[in-house]
Structure 1
Amino acid sequence: MLTMPSGTSKFLSVLLVLTICASYASADSIQQSFLQCFDRNRISNSPLPPSCYTPTNSSFSIVLQSTANNLRYLVPSVKKPELILMPTDESHIQTAVICAKKLGVQLRIRSGGHDYEGASYASEMEEPFVILDMAKLRMVTVQIEDTSAWVQVGATIGELYYKISVESKVHGFPAGLCSSLGVGGHITGGAYGPMMRKYGLGADNAIDVRMVDANGQILDRNSMGEDLFWAIRGGGGGNFGVILAWKVQLVPVPEKVTVFTVAKTLEMGLTKVLTKWQQVADKTDENLFIRVIMQNSKTPKGDKTMLGLFQALFLGSADELLKVMQRDFPELGLQKKDTSEVSWIESVLYIANYPSGTKPEIFLEGKPTFLNYFKAKSDFVREAIPESGLEGMFKQLMEDEGSLMIWNPYGGMMSKIPESQTPFPHRAGTKFMIQYVVTWQDGESSKTRHMDSIRKLYNYMTPYVSMFPREAYVNYRDLDLGMNKDGYASFIQASAWGSMYYKDNFNRLVKIKTKFDPENFFRHEQSIPPLPVMENKKVTQWDTTCHTSDDQV
């Protein structure tokens, strides 16, 4: 083998970075400075250099749009990144953090592009930013012998599910229903899915991590300590560091599980059936998860109506399921012909709404399952909504043909895990979560109408959902709840959204942010703020007095 002098090797390595990162001779000073800094501060000679794209590069728009699910944030008026960096090695992320910090450039981290308000690839803030697109870091290593898996954050949750299924027919992982979710951001926000009533959230089953902190250091659970590890499992993406990989705990699943979808319209008694669903969905067998998707439809005569799809996963046989349903929810009228016994990985395809017969290998494509203009909001419900409330809700929903609601039941394991165990606080006492979504395809021309309609529906629901605070799910980020334009929100300002996403856990998150990222390097429109240095001592004392549960986590 021919060995080149070390100086020559280093020169060629830098030359390769410059070539793949595209010529920046004509780029502006931010791009030029960042790439020059990157070349000077490379930590190691990785096998492959990162790919870099500036707005003058012909592939820039293609890469920017590659995993951006919300078209609202791709219109010309939305601020775009100065540079997209696609690391191929962990050291590239370390260098990117070091350079961004030196130059005062903001980093936005994208693992899957599902951020509902585009915060991983767009910005409402004034300062320039660089995207770290983790799409090339997608290795999944399943270890059945100790029922765990390491998964890099560029992988989708569907890829993780597929790799688990290849190794075992009786193991799974309790996370999201949408297979194109990026693993990194999904788990940082909680990661709920159809097995949460049995096993909790994805964040509840994350057991180790690799992360780059604000100093460019790679940390794992042991080196970061339990406080920071607590914060990143549900404390929201982009707040504490760049997640590189999660180690997750696999859970047992039967060789065959059962799925079904039963449709009910208003004319078929949807209101009565939904009333009973509210009474039983969070209390029934924890192996059973029945969500409800409500959307606009038409009667045979062409009149407007509401369609409710009761879609379920049961971790057991069809015969066992029918016994549970007859006991707890006979009003749905489920029959054996409505059910299908499938493998766990096939149930993932089913709930992700892939056509019948689709092979699990489709998950390896990592393609988004939806791409449109949309706005979403969320709520948590603690008391059953009366029929009069449901009737008004249906009326509101039918005002916009693009509106739908998804109700996801809680109870089971979700009621057994304390609110303080992770930053995700929506636990005991929660009957179900509501996701509101409105979608459209004609861009900016009808944006105001659709945005107004979902806000009107959300306002209508105020008397029927959680209060003080009105809770929200951080992975369904909603800038209507409040935001800052410069990334430096005060504790009081950030409490507007922080208390809704995290409830009392917000105070502990601020305390941890102040300790591990006091300069607020990781920031976005709804980030966790550090406290000003002069306030640290006072607030730390207050937290110590009021949050005795910290020592138990």
Structure 2
Amino acid sequence: MAMARSSSLVLVAFALLCCYASTVSSQGNSSDGFLSCLTASIPRQLVFTPSSPSFTPLLKSSIRNPKFFTPSTVRPLYIITPTNASHVQAAVLCGRRSGLRIRVRSGGHDYEGLSYRSVRAESFAVLDLSSLRAVRVDAQAATAWVDSGAQLGELYYAIGKASGVLGFPGGLCPTVGVGGHFSGGGFGMLLRKYGMAIDNVIDAVLVDAKGRLLNKNTMGSDVFWALRGGGGESFGVVVSWQVKLLPVPPKVTVFNVPVTASQGAADLVTRWQQVAPALPEDLIIRVVVQQKTANFQSLFLGTCDALLPVMSSRFPELRFNRSDCREMTWIQSVPYIYLGSASTVEDLLNRTTAESVFSSGYKATSDYVRQAIPRDAWASIFAKLAQPNAGLMILDPYGGQIAAVPESATPYPHRAGVLYNIQYMNFWSMASGDGAVQTRWIREFYAFMAPFVSSNPREAYFNYRDLDLGENVVVGNVSSYQAGMVWGQKYFKGNYQRLAMAKGQIDPDDYFRNEQSIPPFANSR
């Protein structure tokens, strides 16, 4: 079925190319030309201009960080909401023809908002994939096709409906878009058992800068490698992904054990650093550290009876007992862990950005820890987290399957030797200010952490994108490879050059670009 679908879309692509090939780069920058070209190929009701009453609500609908919804934000000239791959192809071809660039949004969770805004003043359109969100699960083959506009919650829900013993190792937040999540790597509570989301991607359908519709076999091995973790909006528009589903038991166990500073949280986190990466792969214990409390959150692929002796022998300091256990199915654990004990599986289908979420701006960044942080440093960390306007830390342990994959197997290089990943976040009320105080706290705390985390390069996670790490510099209308190394090696280490070479194969003119997209290697200035 999937192959038949791909074949029919290739015919559409060929027809579009025949229409536009002679004029694709013959015109200069013309937004009017883009609109007239677009409306000849896409139903008018799928194209929105700022004068449309639906434009602003649509733009806002997937903005997860409201600090990028202010009068000073550089907004798109148009929003296109494709309902099939031919609409994506038309948008790309019309953009090339008129000289108008396209930014691509799936879930809108990009921490710097680069899927729907520009840092510099420039004209662009947004390709909003929210109407491309089909999920097709083949439980017998243990695979699924999922469109890039689907959210993780929708993917998990479809898997849970199809089978009670299959799961997928993606992230926790159900409103994250599949397209962006897979493009940067993607990990969650199954990372120690099954690795990254990208480790389980087996095919993809890509619209490239020429408007061609390509799959794993026709895009080439280097480009297919690059798509799986090499950064969104660098190589084209991935319309859909085929993923491998993995076995989960009929019953899993979750727990959340809070420990305050006065109860010895600093000692426990110090000990956790050694324990968590060495636990059996069926068990993950992450830590959320905020103010004076460390919350130890866990998913175990088994029953409470099986978990108790493991905790007793491997992490007795936590004083875990039967009353801490909550047994449920894997699909029930997904909303339980992220949304809370009152949530239901149906809550995974809620795509709406709550007004309470939209009222809070945030700043985030990341680190990787390869050597355990000393206990006295943790005492200082807890003191800083107790300051006014302080943020929080989320610690995700590695080891297990994520570490078993070679660094070069996918663009995501943070594998063997990593004890855990750190995400730093700080929030503020949009009604109370611009977040300058909270942002300064994050930057100062990030500087404080430098002696305790990876170095040369100081590693970072692309899906926690941070423009403080560097921005592209355009030279001769193409992003500079050398300038991109400043941020690129932090995210991708030694894989950065191979990514740039793949970019040179599929998009040498750098049509798909933003402030942290992969530059083509050919431009080595």
Relative to the length of structure 1, the TM-score reads: 0.87
CA 1:436 to 1:36, structure 2 compared with 1: closer, same or farther past 3 Å? same
2:304 aligns to what?
Answer: 318
Contact 1:257 1:344 in 2 (8 A): yes
Contact 2:77 2:124 in 1 (8 A): yes
| Residue 515 (structure 2) aligns with | 525
What CA distance in whole angstroms lies between the structure 2 residues aligned with 1:451 and 1:210?
Answer: 38
Which one is further off, 476-485 or 283-292? Answer: 476-485
Q: Where in structure 2 are there 5+ consecutive unaligned residues? A: 1-28
Which residue does the alignment assign to 2:350?
365
Deviation (angstroms), 1:509: 0.5
Per-residue CA shift, 1:38-61, capped at 9, x if unaligned?
A: 134x2xxx8x66512111111211
Q: In the aligned structure 2, how far is the partner of 1:481 from the partner of 1:204?
A: 26
Aligned length: 492
Could you tell me which of 71, 89, 97 is aligned with 2:92?
97
Q: Which secondary structure does the structure 2 equivalent of 1:208 belong to?
A: strand
Partner of 1:123: 118
CA drift of 1:531 comes to 3.1
Residue number among 334, 339, 342 corresponding to 2:328 in the alignment: 342
Q: Deviations over 1:84-126 (max 9, x none)?
A: 1101111010000001111111111000000000001111023
Q: Report the secondary structure of 2:479's partner residue.
A: coil
**Over residues 112-156 of structure 1, what are the superposed CA-to-partner deviations in whole Å (9 max), with x where a residue is unaligned?**
000000001111023211000000011110001110000111110
Report if aligned partners of 2:66, 2:430 keep a CA contact under 8 Å in 1. no
Q: Please state whether the residue corresponding to 2:371 is helix, strand or coil.
A: coil
SS in 2 for 1:393: helix
Identify the match of residue 515 of structure 1 among 494, 499, 505.
505
1:516 Cα offset (Å): 1.3
- 1:34 counterpart residue number: 34
Whole-angstrom distance in 2 between the partners of 1:402 and 1:110: 30
Moved more, 323-332 or 48-57: 48-57
Equivalent residues in 2 for 1:176-325, closer than 5 Å: 176-296=171-291, 306-325=292-311
User: Which residue matches 1:455?
Assistant: 443
Aligned-partner Cα distance in 1 for 2:61–2:341: 23
Q: CA deviation at 1:443?
A: 5.0
Aligned to 2:425: 437
> Is the CA contact 2:235–2:503 (under 8 Å) kept in the aligned structure 1?
yes
Task: Tell me which amino acid in the other structure corresponds to 1:499.
Answer: Q
State the partner residue of 2:338: 352
SS in 1 for 2:339: coil
Which residue of 1 is the match for residue 399 of structure 2? 411
The equivalences for 1:490-501 within 5 A come to: 490-501=480-491
Structure-2 residue corresponding to 1:75: 70
Q: Is 2:118 the partner of 1:133?
A: no
Alpha-carbon distance, 1:399 to partner:
2.2
In the alignment, residue 158 of structure 2 is paired with which amino acid?
A: K
SS in 2 for 1:504: helix
**Residue number among 56, 59, 68 corresponding to 1:64 in the alignment:** 59
Label 1:271 to 1:160 Cα distance change in 2 as closer, same or farther (>3 A).
same
3-state DSSP of counterpart to 2:459: coil
Offset at residue 446 of structure 1 (A):
4.4
Question: 8 Å contact 1:410–1:432 — kept in the other structure?
Answer: yes
Deviation at 1:379, TM superposition (A): 0.2
Quote the residue 1:21 is aligned against: none
Distance 1:239 1:285 in 2: 37
Pair 1:395–1:185, CA change in 2 (3 A) = same
Work out whether residues 177 and 193 of structure 1, in 8 Å CA contact, stay in contact via their aligned partners in 2: yes
Return the alpha-carbon distance in structure 1 between the equivalents of residues 321 and 202 of structure 2: 40
Aligned residue number for residue 539 of structure 1? none
2:492 alignment partner in structure 1: 502
Q: For residues 211 and 32 of structure 1, what CA distance do their matches in structure 2 show?
A: 27
- One-letter identity of the residue aligned with 2:465: R
CA distance in 2, matches of 1:407, 1:470: 17
- Write the distance in 1 (CA, Å) between the matches of 2:45 and 2:194: 38
Give the equivalent residue in structure 2 for 1:480: 468
Q: Distance in 2 between matches of 1:125 and 1:401?
A: 29
Instruction: Provide the secondary structure at the position in 1 that maps to 2:435.
Output: helix
Give the alignment's TM-score, normalised by structure 2.
0.91
Please state whether the residue corresponding to 1:337 is helix, strand or coil.
helix
Greater C-alpha Rg: 1
1:351-390 CA distance string (max 9 Å, x none): 112342x321222222347432000000000000001111
Look up the equivalent residue of 1:367 and give its one-letter code. T
Distance (Å, rounded) in 1 between the aligned partners of 2:156 and 2:33:
41
d(CA) in 1 for partners of 2:52 and 2:148? 26
8 Å CA contact retained: 2:48, 2:54: yes
TM superposition shift of 1:442? 3.0
2:48 and 2:396 mapped to 1: Cα distance?
A: 40
CA distance in structure 2 between the aligned counterparts of 1:491 and 1:310, rounded to whole angstroms? 41
Q: Is the 8 A contact 1:175 1:193 kept in 2?
A: yes
Separation of aligned partners in 1, 2:232 and 2:379: 37
Q: Quick one: distance in 2 between partners of 1:52 and 1:222?
A: 32
Q: Distance in 1 between the 2:300 and 2:341 partners?
A: 20
The CA deviation at 1:402 is 4.8
CA contact (8 A) 1:49 1:87 kept: no
How many Å apart are 1:397 and its aligned residue? 1.8
Residue 170 of structure 2 aligns with which residue? 175
Partner residue, 1:471: 459
Q: Which moved more, 1:391-400 or 1:504-513?
A: 391-400
